[in-house]
Amino acid sequence: MPPAKKSTPSSPAKPEVIELTYEQPMYQRVIYLLLGIINGLLFFRLFFLIFGANPLNNIVDAVYQVTKPLVQPFVGMFPGIGDKGWDGSTIMAIICYTLLAQFVIYVIRLFVPNRAVQQ
């Protein structure tokens, strides 16, 4: 007599899994790109100021000239920090521009719905 086949309980059908990915909107990518460029230049300025780079060098002078209008609104805000090698206006500019970019993205998100992409 052949052995009896074991009956396995039929497994319930697995639910279909739908993966949704969030794609960053174009406005957000552009804002982050601009923020990255601005903060990158400001970090170079800060690095050059901390280590006493020669302002007569063409690259150092170009960074100083490009970032001067970005830092100008914050000049004199923290006058004592500059004596220790740190430039308070550059640090404040980095912080303020980062917060401003995040605020702009937040405000735009209030009016533009998020889009999820089904894969």
Q: What are the 10-residue block averages of pLDDT along the chain, 119 residues in total?
A: 60 70 80 94 92 90 94 82 71 94 92 64
pLDDT of residue 116: 55
| Sign of the Cα pseudo-torsion (71, 74, 76, 78, in order) | negative
* CA–CA separation, 111 and 27 (whole Å): 12
- What share of residues in the chain are helix, strand, coil (percent, to 5)? 60, 5, 35
**Residue (of 92, 99, 97, 90) closest to 47 by Cα position:** 90
* CA–CA separation, 106 and 14 (whole Å): 39
* CA–CA separation, 88 and 102 (whole Å): 21
pLDDT of residue 39: 95
DSSP label at residue 86:
-
pLDDT of residue 58: 94
pLDDT of residue 75: 86
pLDDT of residue 5: 61
**Residue (of 56, 57, 67) closest to 91 by Cα position:** 67
